[in-house]
Structure 1
Amino acid sequence: MSNFSLGTGGADLIKKHEGFSLKFYGDPKGYPTVGWGHLITKTKVYTKNSLLTQKEADDLSKSLKLDYTSPISQSKANTFFTEDTAKAVKAVNDLVLPKGCQFTQSQFDALVSLTFNGGPGVLKTDDVKAMLAHALIFPFIGPILPDDLDTCSKLVSKAFSYDRNLKPRRNEEATLFCKGMKYTHKYPVYSL
């Protein structure tokens, strides 16, 4: 278990790919969302990737007894982002790593972005578990053989191959995960 906070690199990556709106909108599944991907509820569905009308937003706020409606303030959006990322931060901090291993800030941020988008269950996939079980994935002092570097690159690519519709985001997360390491993200997601 670690005790990291979300760094700037991770926050920026999440914000970039989530998009931003102070007005309520239907996300790619039609669920009402606001800010940087803050899910309002899964009990209602609206037009996908479209802003809700003011009447729809007001009716939704009233039916759910929310203390806000559309548009929200920048302060409220910031609060939602902090609350929503806290769940992903906790899930990544709760991971049990091999003895003596610890994340770099970039590795942590990349996994938080993946978890924020895919939910904590993504950390339990076989590919993520295989990557995290390999001790050379973590900061290591000493010589690492070229074959080991290649193995690490392959493990990262497979671990971040989650949701084919989000290849650009997953490749950026994998690149962030490899930042500062001896191995690189040389195999794009879904290429192995």
Structure 2
Amino acid sequence: MARKSDRFGATQGLGSILEQEKRRIYDDATPAKREAFLEAERAREVYRAWNTVCARTREGQHVCGLHFVPETRELVVYVDGSSWVNELTVLREIIRARMEACGVRVSALVFKLSRKGYEAPRAASSAANKVKSSPCAGLPRAELSSADVAAIDARVSHIKDESLQRALKSAMGAGLSLDKTRKSTK
């Protein structure tokens, strides 16, 4: 319990008070309980990275639930349609790379069809929620120069996972090509 002098000292924000309380609980815990706390923190970081990468995307609107398996570091993602299972499976390595850029590494993303009754709530249909068509849709993509390809290779060379490296090269190349196409059509 906080002493009167502690409570009436300098003004503190709620975040610092919560951090102090979390530290107090952690310090008083048994080693097994401490490990459980740390595991919960790691899982929370995985969910936070997923939300940073996917929550406001078109694909993210079809996610019904997440389950992190700490033993294998797999993130199981439940979606509301088999076509979304397929689409997210195609995007798996890009999503993993973006999560890794947020500081979280998962060994695998597993996409599964959710059970009936657990579908994601549909967003209200309005002009604000509709995806705008790209001004470059249907246009041929600009070719990348050898210097562009070399720059992309240099940026992903530190990534050890070859499939992740290939996926990033592909995504970065497509983005750069689209940027060049947009600039040439202005």
TM-score by length of 1: 0.30
Which of structures 1 and 2 has the bigger CA Rg? 2
TM-score by length of 2: 0.31
